[in-house]
Amino acid sequence: MKRKAIYPGSFDPPTNGHLDLIERGSKIFDELIVAILRNPEKDPLFSVSERRQMLESMTGSFDNVSVDTFHGLTVDYALRVEAQAILRGIRAISDYEYELQMALMNRKLQPGLETVFMMPAARYSYLSSRLVREVAQLGGPVDCLVPDLVVQKLREKMDVANRFGDAVARAPESEARVVDRAAKERKTKSRKKKS
Ligand code: ADP
C-alpha cells in the first residue's frame, strides 16, 4: 500500500521552514499533499489562491508532492483523500503543547490516522509565517526566510499596502470576506422578505 500523508496548515505565507518539512516528508511518504486550510475565522495576508500558487511553484520539483485546499476538520479531509498520516512540524517546546493537543484530538476523532512530527533544520527552528509577515510589514529583509518568489509577492503586498492602506493589500478574495459578504447578503434578503 502507498504511504500517503497530508501536510495541513495556513501557509500565510509559505516559508523555507515549510519547504524544509515538505522535503523531509516527501522522502518518507510515497505521496504528500500540502493542504491549505480555508479558514473563515482568519484574516490572511495572502488569499488561498495566492498561497496555492506560491506552494505549487515551490514544490514543482517534487514528483510526489501536490497542493490542495480544504475546509472543515483535518481528519475528514485526510479520510477523503485516503491519507494514513498527518504531517506536522515541531520547532520548539512552545509548539509541543498545542501540537500534542491537536494530535490527541485528531486521534480521538479518527483513531486510524497517525500524526507524524518532523523537526526542521535548526536554522529554521525560529521561523514562522507570523514572524515573516511582521518583519516584511516593518520593511525588514526576509530573503533568507522565504523563497525568492515569496519575497517578491511580499514586496508587491507591501507596495500596495503603502499606497492604498493595509486593508486593501490583505487577501483580496479571502474566504473570510466572501463568507462574511454572503452572510450579510442573506441577512439583508431575509430582512427585506420580512418587511
Ligand atoms: P497552522 O496555522 O496550522 O499552524 P502554519 O502554516 O503556521 O499553519 O504551520 C503549518 C505546519 O508547519 C505546523 O505543523 C507548523 O508547526 C509547521 N511549521 C511552520 N513553520 C515551520 C518551520 N519553520 N519549521 C518546521 N515546521 C514549521
Each residue's pLDDT tens digit, 150-182: 999 999 998 877 776 666 667 665 444 544 555
Q: What is the per-residue pLDDT for 1?
A: 82
The CA 136 to ligand 1 mean position distance, Å, reads 18
Is the shortest distance between the CB of 23 and ligand 1 below 6 Å?
Answer: no
Task: Indicate whether residue 120 lines ligand 1 (CB < 6 A).
Answer: yes
Q: pLDDT of 91-112, one tens digit each?
A: 988 889 999 999 999 999 999 9
Ligand 1 atom index nearest CA of 117: 14
**What is the pTM for the complete model shown?**
0.85
Cite the active site residues.
18, 42, 91, 129
Residue 195's pLDDT is 57
3-state secondary structure the chain: CCCEEEEEECCCCCCHHHHHHHHHHHHHCCEEEEEEECCCCCCCCCCHHHHHHHHHHHHCCCCCEEEEEECCCHHHHHHHCCCCEEEEECCCHHHHHHHHHHHHHHHHHCCCCEEEEECCCHHHCCCCHHHHHHHHHCCCCCCCCCCHHHHHHHHHHHHHHHHHCHHHHCCCCCHHHHHHHHHHHHHHHHHHHHC
Q: What is the pLDDT of residue 176?
A: 46
Atom nearest to 95 CA in ligand 1 = 16
Q: Report whether pLDDT(83) > 80.
A: yes
Taking CA atoms only, the protein residue closest to ligand 1 atom 23 is 17
Instruction: Locate the ligand 1 atom nearest the alpha carbon of residue 7 and give its number.
Output: 11
Each domain of the chain, given as residue ranges in start order, spans 4-181
Looking at the domain covering 4-181, what would its CATH class be?
alpha beta
Q: Ligand 1 centre from 18 Cα, in Å? A: 6
Ligand 1 lined by 16 (C-beta under 6 Å): no
Q: Could you tell me the distance, in angstroms and rounded to a whole number, from the CA of residue 190 to the centre of ligand 1?
A: 41
